[in-house]
Amino acid sequence: MTKPLILVSNDDGITSRGIRVLVDVMKQLGDVVVVAPDSPQSGMGHAITIGNTLRLSEEEIFQDVIAYKSSGTPADCVKLAKHYVLKDKKPDLIVSGINHGSNTSISVLYSGTMSAAIEGAIEGYPSIGFSLCDYSSNADFSHVENYVYEIAKQVLEFGIPKGVALNVNFPPKRNEPLKGIKICRQARAKWQEDFEERYDPNGRKYFWMAGNFVNFDKGEDNDEWAIANNYAAVVPCQFDMTAHHAIAQINNDWDWENLKASL
């Protein structure tokens, strides 16, 4: 029986601890190929490289796994994997992570981890982004490995809707085991930024972005609630950003006669 082909990428870079954990787990499920950035690409969102060179080289980093590092973004890595590394082979699953840090709520828009997964969904492949809500380079992943395995296994066996990528976030390791999995929605929250004005040694002004994450959501069906209550949060995401509910409102509320007359 042919094993599933699983493409692994991330945004923390090919040498990160999180991707090593993810590769080890995926090797239990299928044949693994890695294409990941050669350096950290956190916060890159769905950026792609245009007007610059893209470099790709094979690396002997993981035992018994073909791996490439790229100078590009996470989305670039998935594109390079499809068009160059895998060529005529189609992955059965694309997984990204395990990210060092949270990608809940609005952070999904900024996340390089999730952009790799969403790029996979754009191409029509089942895709998952995994994140651990612990920013430490020495983060403990031991409590999430079985969950990563089981979630990926479920996707391989039962699939997910076309054009959907799963955003999976885990709480940091605590004194008690995880309570389980919550399939939930993205919390209504945002970053409230503050820009600190600073000066470099030459007296030139620059700015350093700081700020705090603010959760406005009081519901118990969202990813922030799940993480706070020691559940793994699974949010199905889509790349179609059309506000479908707004189409009828705009059509009904705008003064189309005056608009036409003024054109």
What 3 state SS string does 187-229 have? CCEEEEEEEEEEECCCCCEEEEEEEEEEECCCCCCEHHHHHHC
Residues in the chain: 263
Per-residue pLDDT of the chain (263 residues; tens, 9 = 90+): 689 999 999 999 999 999 999 999 999 999 999 999 999 888 888 999 999 999 999 999 999 999 999 999 999 999 999 999 999 899 999 999 999 999 999 999 999 999 999 999 999 999 999 999 998 878 999 999 999 999 999 999 999 999 999 999 999 999 999 999 999 999 998 988 889 999 999 999 999 988 888 888 899 999 999 999 999 999 999 999 999 999 999 999 998 888 888 88
CATH class of segment(s) 5-188+218-262: alpha beta
What contacts 237, CB < 8 A, 6 or more positions away?
Answer: 108, 114, 117, 118, 121, 164, 165, 166, 167, 186
Task: Check residue 257 and give its pLDDT.
Answer: 86
Q: What pLDDT does residue 42 have?
A: 85
Closest CA to 108 of 212, 209, 189: 189
Whole-number pLDDT of residue 168 = 98
Distance CA 9, CA 81 (A): 10
Sign of CA dihedral 218, 169, 107, 116: negative
CA-based end-to-end distance of the chain: 64
Taking a C-beta distance cutoff of 8 angstroms, is the pair 196, 208 a contact?
Answer: yes
Q: Which two tokens stand for residue 106?
A: 């609005």
Q: What is the DSSP string of 21-46?
A: HHHHHHTTTSEEEEEEESS--TT-TT
**What is the model's pLDDT at position 167?**
98
pLDDT in the model for residue 13: 94
Is 240 a known ligand-binding residue? no
DSSP 8-state symbol, 138: T
Q: Is 99 annotated as a binding residue?
A: yes
Domain positions in the chain: 5-188+218-262
Token readout for 148 is 């990563």
11 annotated among ligand-binding-site residues: yes
Structural contact between residues 45 and 134, judged by C-beta atoms closer than 8 angstroms:
no
The whole-number pLDDT of residue 259 equals 82
Task: Estimate the crossing angle of helix 17-26 against helix 145-158, to 10 degrees.
Answer: 50
In whole angstroms, what is the distance from residue 191 CA to residue 172 CA?
20
**For residues 82-91, b (16+ Cβ closer than 10 Å) or e, as one string?**
beebbeeeeb
Q: Does the annotation list 12 as a binding residue?
A: yes
